[in-house]
C-alpha cells in the first residue's frame, strides 16, 4: 500500500512539474500606457482579443501609478526583472527616457505605440501618425473659423512625442491663415488640472475663441468648463479621440469635430506583431519601422455611423 501511495504521489508531482514547465514556457507580453485614462480601455479590449488568439502567450496591460516618465520606466524595469519577453509602450517622455528605453530594448523586444521613441532600440512603432492627426485637426480649425481666430491648446504631456507632433501638425496646417495657436497648456494627465487650465484661460485670455483638446480627456474637460461658464458655441472646440462627451458634443453641434485614432487595433495588432517578432518573423516591419494605423475626422455628418461602429466593436 505504501508503495502504491508513493507511486501515486510521485505521479502527481511529475504532472505538476510538467504543468509548471508548460506555464513557464509561456512568454509574457506587456502593454504599458502613459497614464490612467478611459482612452486606453479600447486598447485593453484589443489586447484581450489578441489573448484569445495567442494561447502560448500571457498578455498583460499595465497602468503606471502616475503619469511620470520615471514611474513608467520603473514599471518596465520591474516587468523585465519578472521575465517578460516583450513590451509595447506609449512613452511618457522619450527625450528624457532614451537611455532607459535603450537599456530595456537591449533585454526584451521593445515596441512603441501612441508616442514614439525613434532614437532608441525600439523594434517598431505601431499607431497613428500624430503629425497627420494634427494636420487633420488643423483642417477642422480652418473649416470652423473661416474668418480667423485665436486658439488655445490643452494637452497632458507637453514633452511626449505624440503631443509635440500633433501640435506641430496643427501649426503647419494653419500657417499663413488668419488663425493662430496662441499657446498650449499641459496638465500631466491630471484631469482636475486639465479643467482648471481651461477655466484659467477663460479668465486670463477672453479673446480666445477656439480651444483644441490634444488628448482624449482634454476635450471633455474643455466642454465642461465652457458649459459651466455658459460659453458653449461661443468658443469653437476641436478634439481628439472618441470620449462619449466629445462624440455627444459633435452630435449636438457644440464641438466642431474630433480626430479619432484606433487604439483597439494598437492593442490587438501590437500583441500579434510582437508575438510574430519573437517567433522570428520580421516581414511585417517596414523599412522606416513605422506601422501606421490611420486616423479620421469625425463631424456631425458621420458621428452617428462612427458611434454605432464603436459600440458594436466594444460589444455594447
Question: For residue 304, what pLDDT band results from cuts at 50, 70 and 90?
Answer: very high
User: What is the per-residue pLDDT for 312?
Assistant: 74
Mean pLDDT of the chain: 91
Across the range 147-162, mean pLDDT stands at 94
Across the range 272-289, mean pLDDT stands at 97
Q: Kindly report which listed range (1-5, 23-27, 79-83) carries the lowest average pLDDT score.
A: 1-5
User: What is the per-residue pLDDT for 17?
Assistant: 37
Question: For residue 8, what pLDDT band results from cuts at 50, 70 and 90?
Answer: very low
> Model's pTM, two decimal places?
0.77
User: What is the per-residue pLDDT for 50?
Assistant: 97
Across the range 278-304, mean pLDDT stands at 96
User: What is the per-residue pLDDT for 20?
Assistant: 42
* pLDDT tens by residue, 68-126: 899 999 999 999 999 999 999 999 888 889 999 999 999 999 999 998 999 999 999 99
Q: Give yes or no for residue 9 having a pLDDT over 80.
A: no
User: What is the per-residue pLDDT for 13?
Assistant: 38
User: What is the per-residue pLDDT for 316?
Assistant: 62
User: What is the per-residue pLDDT for 39?
Assistant: 87
How does DSSP assign the chain, residue by residue?
-HHHHHHHHHHHHHHHHHHHHHHHHSEEEEEE-SS--GGGHHHHHHHHHHHHH-TTEEEEEE--SSS-HHHHHHHHHHHHHTT-SEEEE--S-HHHHHHHHHHHHTTSEEEE-SS--TTSS-S-EEE--HHHHHHHHHHHHHHH-TT-EEEEEEES-TTSHHHHHHHHHHHHHHTTSSEEEEEEEE-TT-HHHHHHHHHHHHHH-TT--EEEE-STTHHHHHHHHHHHTT-BTTBEEEEES--HHHHHHHHHTSS-EEEE--HHHHHHHHHHHHHHHHTT--TTS-TT-EEE---EEE-TTTHHHHHHHHHHHTT-
Q: Give yes or no for residue 18 having a pLDDT over 80.
A: no
User: What is the per-residue pLDDT for 315?
Assistant: 65
User: What is the per-residue pLDDT for 80?
Assistant: 98
Q: Return the higher-pLDDT residue of 309 and 143.
A: 143
Q: Give yes or no for residue 190 having a pLDDT over 70.
A: yes
User: What is the per-residue pLDDT for 10?
Assistant: 40
User: What is the per-residue pLDDT for 314?
Assistant: 65
* pLDDT tens by residue, 208-267: 999 999 999 999 999 999 999 999 999 999 999 999 999 999 999 999 999 999 999 999
Question: For residue 140, what pLDDT band results from cuts at 50, 70 and 90?
Answer: very high
Across the range 23-51, mean pLDDT stands at 90
Amino acid at each position: 500500500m505504501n508503495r502504491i501511495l508513493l507511486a501515486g504521489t510521485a505521479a502527481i508531482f511529475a504532472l505538476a512539474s510538467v504543468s509548471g514547465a508548460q506555464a513557464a514556457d509561456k512568454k509574457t507580453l506587456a502593454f504599458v500606457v502613459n497614464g490612467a485614462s478611459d482612452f486606453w480601455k479600447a486598447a485593453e479590449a484589443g489586447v484581450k482579443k489578441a489573448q484569445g488568439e495567442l494561447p502560448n502567450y500571457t498578455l498583460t496591460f499595465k497602468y503606471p501609478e502616475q503619469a511620470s516618465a520615471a514611474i513608467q520606466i520603473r514599471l518596465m524595469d520591474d516587468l523585465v526583472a519578472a521575465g517578460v519577453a516583450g513590451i509595447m509602450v506609449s512613452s511618457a517622455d522619450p527625450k528624457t527616457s532614451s537611455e532607459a528605453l535603450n537599456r530595456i530594448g537591449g533585454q526584451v523586444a521593445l515596441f512603441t505605440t501612441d508616442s514614439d521613441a525613434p532614437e532608441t532600440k525600439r523594434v517598431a512603432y505601431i499607431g497613428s501618425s500624430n503629425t497627420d492627426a494634427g494636420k487633420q485637426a488643423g483642417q477642422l480649425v480652418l473649416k470652423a473659423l473661416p474668418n480667423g481666430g485665436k486658439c488655445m491648446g490643452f494637452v497632458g504631456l507637453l514633452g511626449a512625442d505624440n503631443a509635440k507632433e500633433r501640435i506641430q501638425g496643427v501649426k503647419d496646417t494653419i500657417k499663413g491663415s488668419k488663425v493662430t495657436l496662441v499657446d498650449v497648456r499641459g496638465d500631466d494627465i491630471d484631469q482636475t488640472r486639465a479643467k482648471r487650465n481651461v477655466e484659467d484661460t477663460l479668465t486670463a485670455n477672453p479673446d480666445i475663441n477656439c480651444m483644441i483638446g490634444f488628448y482624449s480627456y482634454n476635450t471633455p474637460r474643455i466642454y465642461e468648463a465652457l458649459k459651466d461658464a455658459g460659453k458653449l458655441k461661443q468658443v469653437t472646440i476641436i478634439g481628439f479621440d472618441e470620449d462619449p462627451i466629445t462624440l455627444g458634443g459633435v452630435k449636438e453641434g457644440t464641438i466642431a469635430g474630433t480626430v479619432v485614432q484606433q487604439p483597439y487595433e494598437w492593442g490587438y495588432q501590437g500583441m500579434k506583431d510582437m508575438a510574430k517578432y519573437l517567433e522570428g518573423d520580421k516581414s511585417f516591419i517596414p523599412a522606416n519601422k513605422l506601422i501606421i494605423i490611420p486616423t479620421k475626422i469625425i463631424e456631425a455628418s458621420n458621428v452617428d455611423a462612427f458611434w454605432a461602429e464603436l459600440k458594436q466593436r466594444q460589444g455594447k
